[in-house]
Amino acid sequence: MTNQKLLTRGMVATLLAQFFSAFSDNALLFAILALLKQLQYPDWSKPVLQMVFVIAFIITAPFVGQIADRFSKGRVMLIANSLKFMGAAIICVGINPFIGYVIVGIGAAGYSPAKYGILGELTSGDNLVKANGLIEASTIAAILLGSVAGGYIADLNVIASLITCVIVFVIAMIANLFIPKLPAAKKDTSWHFGYMFKNFIAGVQNLYSQPLARMTLLGTSLFWGAGVTLRFLLIDWVPLVLGITDNKTPTILNAVVSVGIVLGAGLAAKFISLNNTVRCIPAGILMGIVVTCFSIQSTMVTSYILLVTIGMFGGFFLVPLNALLQHLGKQTVGAGSAISVQNFSEYSSMMVMLGVYSLTVALDISTIWIGACFGILFAFVITLLWIWQNKQ
């Protein structure tokens, strides 16, 4: 199903479901981090918590995209949000937070290919870039509000923060019910484990064999690996450089990045189309340079300015690449399968970067040096990607 009108009932319901789901996702992370702090877990356990979440994406990647294409994507999103609800609920009743967060990760892994894959079924053409801009804006607004809410409520009461996340997941599930039950993209998908795994590997080979698809996969993977590392870098940077030890301040600074991404996504929707997506790559290079500048300064006002700038470059870099991959995936392996390959690539990148970051924290290397070197390395790798793509 495609529709030339952008803000259909299905699109609005999808945006609302995504907002509430992403709101609770981000509030939950900071609520659990506050819980770990309260229970006196070591500092290196914080990125490990995120790695547990990431592992769920990597393990389920061969299957969730095909499931998204096998059923109506709106219903898949509902089931996925139900799993998130269960994971958050069991943390509230005292079960190990790492176990609960794994369940949340499985739900998030199933949610992602359905969320992005449904956009290509609700709209088409250049509206797909605009739809991606809207879904990213909805996501970032949720990150902005959810992160701040999670940190703020956790400063008052950690359990209250966790319960809030459970309630918001229920609201997201209700919004899912208003998404139209669209026909499944691939009803004939086999449920045989071996077949699904081989089909996933074939999808990986198919997409990585296409120069444009390979560029988008590498680009978005580097972005999200950098993004999740920057989140934990901020959490450690704030008390070291600014001397602030509450839960709220790091969430506000993370939210400031989100504001920039909203602005960057809007600019990308206006100036980038499917035909000139490669123009977004220099923004990734500039993002890495600004991360380095941020790491070596020490004032709050400058921090706000640089974090908004990082977000703007990031949003301008990410949104066109997402749209292009959905377009290419829909034409080849299926939108859901393409997103699952993208998730596998992105979360593998996150796993590597978080692992390196955890190691550097355990070795007691200064957060300032970690951030500065990280920004330089990111800009260098994106530059290599740009040069390579131009040669293609």
Q: What are phi and psi of 183, to 5 degrees?
A: -60, 145
Please, are residues 203 and 337 in contact by the beta-carbon 8 Å criterion? yes
Q: Cα–Cα distance between 44 and 56 in angstroms, integer?
A: 20
Specify if 3 maps to a domain. no
In 192-278, DSSP assigns E strands to: none
Q: What are phi and psi of 108, to 5 degrees?
A: -65, -35
Specify if 373 maps to a domain. yes
Q: Cα–Cα distance between 56 and 109 in angstroms, integer?
A: 7
Please, are residues 251 and 147 in contact by the beta-carbon 8 Å criterion? yes
State the total domains in the chain: 1
Specify if 357 maps to a domain. yes
Specify if 2 maps to a domain. no
Specify if 35 maps to a domain. yes
Taken in order 254, 346, 117, 109, is the CA torsion positive or negative?
Answer: negative
Query: The domain that contains 89 carries what CATH number?
Result: 1.20.1250.20
Specify if 325 maps to a domain. yes
Q: Cα–Cα distance between 103 and 80 in angstroms, integer?
A: 10
SS3 state at 253: helix
Domain span holding position 111: 9-181+200-391
Specify if 190 maps to a domain. no
Per-residue pLDDT of the chain (392 residues; tens, 9 = 90+): 444 676 777 788 889 999 999 999 989 998 999 999 888 888 778 888 888 888 888 888 777 777 777 788 888 899 999 999 999 999 998 899 999 999 999 999 888 778 877 877 777 666 777 777 788 778 878 877 888 898 889 889 999 999 999 999 999 999 999 888 776 666 666 667 777 788 788 888 888 888 888 888 888 899 988 888 888 888 889 888 888 888 888 888 888 888 888 788 888 878 887 777 778 889 999 999 999 999 999 889 999 999 999 999 998 998 888 878 877 877 777 666 777 788 788 888 988 998 888 888 888 888 899 999 999 999 999 999 888 877 76
Specify if 348 maps to a domain. yes
In the numeric block, the tokens 């990045």 are attached to 257
Q: Cα–Cα distance between 78 and 381 in angstroms, integer?
A: 38
- Which positions ≥6 away from 224 have C-beta within 8 Å? 346, 347, 349, 350
Q: Cα–Cα distance between 211 and 265 in angstroms, integer?
A: 24
Total-model pTM: 0.75
Q: Calculate ∠ Cα 370-229-43, nearest 5°.
A: 75
Q: Calculate ∠ Cα 4-76-106, nearest 5°.
A: 130
**C-beta neighbour count of 102 within 10 angstroms:** 17
Please, are residues 30 and 37 in contact by the beta-carbon 8 Å criterion? no
Q: Cα–Cα distance between 303 and 172 in angstroms, integer?
A: 33
**If you ran DSSP here, which 8-state letter would residue 274 be given?**
G
